[in-house]
Structure 1
Amino acid sequence: MRVKEWAALEGLNEQTVWKWCREGRMPVAVEKAGSVWLVHDPKYEASGAPAAGSRTVCYVRVSSADQKVDLQRQADRLKAFALNLGASGVEVVSEVGSGVNGKRRTLNRILADPTVGTIIVEHRDRLARVNAGLVESALAAQGRRLIVVDDSELDDDLMRDMTEVLTSLCARLYGRRAARNKAEAALKAALDA
């Protein structure tokens, strides 16, 4: 495949990859055919794309049993979004549990299932309050993907990280239900000071 295609698949800058080709520093085999560099990466040439499952799963979660009414609304919005993307055979999986707790059986089952190629969530914190980026990176390394429908919660990485840490700490101190409100109040107080 061409350098431009390989760089896009790997999430690298095209200019950097061309430089690596010229300097002989490419991590995979390359060849120059006339004026074009061709990249021979076994993980893409075997199937034409990263190995991924074919199933699309919409994951919906609420924190407590008194919020169960919101599960169906979340599920409807995500299923409509997935169908607009052109996905077929979309599954909706729901769970009631804290976003801070990593012991969520349903989410762990989805993440461990290699036939699930795409996971769709409404907000990043529906997947996990802390370290959702690590989950996304792990999925991408397997050729799978995470789609966050509304990723407008916090655009600033530092603010997102602070909110995640504060949410985790507040959850331990005050209980999981009020953790996010306490974290946001602490951030607002810190910014106003």
Structure 2
Amino acid sequence: MGKVAFDRSALDQFDNVTPAKHVSSVSASPLRLRKTLKEKAVFGSVNAVVGPPLALSVIQIASEGIRELLDVTTVKLWRIALPFMERLEFYEGWSELDLAHVISLLLFIAVTLVWIRIIKELKGFGSVMESRKESPALFCLYAGAAGTLLLMDAVVFFLGIQARGGGWGDLAWYTAPLCTACYIAGIICFAIFHADYSTSKRV
């Protein structure tokens, strides 16, 4: 009987076309379940209890530091030529609001969001840490902007503690640094709480 000659190149081409058994054609991603009502209630309760007092205390102190840096921020809001702003003059408490309060509020929101993003990046969620090798210039831009904002926020809070120290009597030299460190730690804990909630296995 004659031998049958096989074309080896044709077999190689067939192997290349046929998908390997050990390679999955579809990348399976773990399914994320919905958060339970209890988890949502705890998240909302913590934000309702911790968020407002934290924000109000930080805004009051930071606004003092902003006024120490920029005198123009002492302008009352009701003096600004914007629609309906002049009515703030006739409401008790609201008439004392100035530009420093607005800036401190925006700074508090920005710093909180930056810390949340930093925690997410450190946990492996996000694209900034991954861009260190692909685009180091962009990474340095992000890191520099975030670092500058956080440093400025710490300085403002530190100056606010010192400015309010006159109304609290003689304070020890370590009071302002200690309060600033406690503030930063509190903001980080608040950011960790939000980052853990948004990156948990449940949607």
Q: If the TM-score is normalised by the length of the shorter chain, which range does it land in?
A: under 0.3
Normalising by the residue count of structure 1, what TM-score does the alignment of the two structures yield?
0.26
Q: Which has the higher contact order (CA 8 A, sep 6+)?
A: 2
**Which is richer in strand?**
1
Question: TM-score, normalized by length of structure 2?
Answer: 0.25
The structure with the greater share of residues assigned to helix is: 2
